[in-house]
Amino acid sequence: MDCWSPLTMNDEFEKLVIRMNPPRVTVDNASSRKATLIKVDSANKRGSLLEVVQVLTDLNLLITRAYISSDGEWFMDVFYVTDQHGNKLSEDDVAERIQQSLGPRGRSFRSLRRSVGVQAAAENTTIELTGRDRPGLLSEIFAILTDLKCNVVASEVWTHNSRMASVVYITDEATGLPIDDPDRLTKIKQLLLYVLKGDRDKRSANTAVSVDSTHKERRLHQMMYADRDYDMDDADFGSASGRKPFVTVENCVDKGYTIVNLRCPDRPKLLFDTVCTLTDMQYVVYHGTIIAEGPEACQEYFIRHVDGSPVSSEAERQRVINCLEAAIRRRTSEGVRLELCSEDRVGLLSDVTRIFRENGLSVTRAEVTTRGFQAVNVFYVTDSSGYPVKNETIEAVRKEIGSTILHVNDDAHSKSPPQERGLFSLGNIFRSRSEKFLYNLGLIRSYS
C-alpha cells in the first residue's frame, strides 16, 4: 500500500477541486464604453493571479484597470482590457482562448505557448545566460554560437544595474533540430561562461541548459532576481530610463496584511512584471486595485507571505521595495529602438551585433524572433557609455547593414512592426580585425 504524505494529499485535493471547478471566463463588451471587461473566477490556488495576468499579457492585451480578490477558497478578478491600439476586443473566441489556457488541459506552459504562437521548447535547445553587462558582450555571445554551428531561432536579452540576463533558443545549424549531445552542450556552456566572466565580473556569471518550459519573460525575472540585480545605489536612478518608481510598503495591523502601493509611468506588461515579482518572492496577493488609464499607473496590493504572515522587518520591507523597483526598470528600454526585418540566415545576429559594436553601440535590450523564413528583431541601443547615440552613427550603421531593412523607431513603446520588408545580405562584409579577443581564444576563425 502506498504511503501518502499530507502534502501529497493536499496537492491531489487541490487538483480535484480545480477539475470540479475549472476557471470560468466571461467577456463583457457592454459595461464599459472604452474597454472590454474580462471576469475570471475559479477555485483559488497559489499562482492563480499570475497565470491569468500572464495569459492576458501573452495575448497582447493592454490592462487599463483591474480589481483582484482572492480571500478564502475562491478568487475573482476583473480586468478592463483593450487591444494594442486601445480599442475594445472584437474577437469572438477570446473567452475560449483564455479559458483553454487556464483550464485543466492548459495547465502547462506548452499549451499557453501554442495558444499565443510561441515556439515550443521541444523544438529547440534553451540556453540561459547571466553575467556582468558590458559593450560588445552580445556580439561575442552570438559569434561563439555561430562558430559552434548553432542557429539562434529566438532570444530575449535584458540588462539592468550593470547585469545581463538572456534566454537563447538554438538549433543545430545543419539539421535544424535541438542540440542534445552532452559533450557539445558542455563545450557551448564552457565557452559562453568564459566570455561572460571576462575579467571584471565580481559576481558569478552563469550558463545553463534549460529542459523545462518556463515562461520566457518570467524566467528572465527569476534569473535577474537570483543575480540580485535589485542591489543598487540611488545614483543608478539618474539614468536615461526616467525617474525612480514610487513604491511604499506598510503593514495594516488590524487586518494582518502588508499594503504595497506603487506609482510609475505606465507601459505594456507592467502588471505582469509586478505580479511576477511578488509571486516569485513568495507573497500572495489577496486584494488589489490597478488603474492605468493615463500616462501613469497606480497599483495597490494587500499581500501576505505564503505562510500567512505580513512583512515582519524593516530589512524585508526595503527588499520588497527594491525588488519591485528593479522589476519595473528591467523592461524599461533605454536608447534608440532599431527594428530589423530580413530574410533569416545562420550568423545574421553575429554580423549585426558585430557592426553595432564596431560603431560603438551598446545593446541594452533585444528581442529576437523568427517567423517562417523571416527574422524580425528589435534592438535598443545607446553609445558605449550609456548615452544617446548620435544621428550620424545610426545612419552609418544603417548604411552598412542596409537602410531598407534596419529602421529607427524613437518611440520605445511603439508596437507597430516595421512596414518595409527587404532581404538582408552581408556577404560582402568582412569580420573586423578588432575581434582579437575571440580570435585569440580560438572561438572564431580569421577571415583576413
Could you tell me if 265 and 346 lie in one domain? no
| SS3 assignment, position 195 | helix
Give 401-443 pLDDT, tens digit per residue.
998 999 998 653 333 333 333 333 333 333 343 344 344 444 4
For the domain that residue 412 is a member of, what is the CATH number? Answer: 3.30.70.260
- Residue 2 included in any domain: no
Tally of domains within the chain = 2
- Residue 273 included in any domain: yes
Give 185-210 pLDDT, tens digit per residue.
999 999 999 999 876 665 678 888 86
- Residue 10 included in any domain: no
Could you tell me the residue range of the domain that residue 296 belongs to? 21-118+232-330
If you average pLDDT over every residue of the chain, what do you get?
81
Where is average pLDDT lowest: 25-34, 100-109, 268-277, 345-354?
A: 100-109
pTM of the entire predicted model: 0.81
Give the other-Cβ count within 10 Å of 306's Cβ: 11
Go through 273-295 and write b for each residue having 16 or more CB atoms within 10 A of its CB, e for each that does not.
Answer: bbbbbbbbbebbbbbbebbbeee
Residue 266 and residue 331 in contact, taking contact as beta carbons nearer than 8 Å: no
* pLDDT value at residue 1: 47
Query: What gap in Å lies between CA 350 and CA 173, rounded to an integer?
Result: 14
- Residue 215 included in any domain: no
Give 150-175 pLDDT, tens digit per residue.
999 999 999 999 999 999 999 999 99
Where is average pLDDT lowest: 120-124, 274-278, 391-395?
A: 120-124
Query: What gap in Å lies between CA 3 and CA 94, rounded to an integer?
Result: 43
Rounded average pLDDT over 305-323:
96
Could you tell me if 300 and 366 lie in one domain? no
Higher model confidence: residue 437 or residue 290?
290
pLDDT level of residue 333 (50, 70, 90 thresholds): confident
- Residue 161 included in any domain: yes
* pLDDT value at residue 323: 97
Residue 177 and residue 112 in contact, taking contact as beta carbons nearer than 8 Å: no
Percent over 70 (pLDDT), the chain? 76
For residue 104, give the nearest of 191, 5, 23 by alpha carbon: 23
Give 356-403 pLDDT, tens digit per residue.
999 999 999 999 999 888 999 999 999 988 899 999 999 999 999 998
Percent over 90 (pLDDT), the chain? 60
Element containing residue 422 per DSSP (H, E): none
The radius of gyration of the chain's CA atoms, rounded to the nearest angstrom, is: 23
Query: Does the pLDDT value for residue 348 go beyond 60?
Result: yes
